[in-house]
Structure 1
Amino acid sequence: MSKNGLFLISIGLIIFLLSSNAVTGQYDLLSIVTAVTFIIFGTVFILKKMLSCKIKLATLK
């Protein structure tokens, strides 16, 4: 799950970097929304994995 989250975050950052037009200086709103969505889902996946690992460690002690 953690690798999937990192993958989604990296794809979101790449989409965000490519969402701007260098000539006109304008951003594509749909690309930014898509990038932010990928970043949020990736962060949720990573936080879920971290929380489940902490719970497993707490039960082992």
Structure 2
Amino acid sequence: MTTAKKNKATFLQIAKAVSWAFFGVRKQSDLDMDASNLTPKQVIIGGLIGAAFFVLTLILLVKLVTN
């Protein structure tokens, strides 16, 4: 039995994967690489941070436009 060492994803890789997921477009090769490097915990935390950033950006944009 061989054990393969799993590469840990960097913060930038997580942010890139989550942002492309929000946009809805991703190359198959990049998707396969993300699936092999990212853990579900990283994706969930990255998604929550990305969603919070998106909502806060929208709130700020609305406040700027309405003032």
Q: TM-score if structure 1 supplies the norm length?
A: 0.51
Q: TM-score if structure 2 supplies the norm length?
A: 0.47
1:31 Cα shift?
0.8
For structure 2, which runs of at least 5 residues remain unmatched after alignment? 1-13, 22-30
What stretches of structure 1 move > 6 A for 4+ residues in a row?
Answer: none
For structure 1, which runs of at least 5 residues remain unmatched after alignment? 1-6, 20-29
Cα RMSD (Å) of the superposition?
2.8
Please show how residues 1-61 of structure 1 align to structure 2 within 5 Å.
8=15, 10-12=16-18, 14=31, 18=35, 31-59=39-67
Aligned partner of 1:24 in structure 2 is none
Give the number of aligned pairs: 41
Q: In structure 1, how many angstroms separate the alpha carbons of the residues matched to 2:49 and 2:17?
A: 11
1:58 Cα shift?
1.0
Q: Report which of the two has the higher share of helix.
A: 1
Q: In structure 1, how many angstroms separate the alpha carbons of the residues matched to 2:17 and 2:48?
A: 12
Q: Deviations over 1:2-59 (max 9, x none)?
A: xxxxx82x52455xx616xxxxxxxxxx811111000110111111110000001110
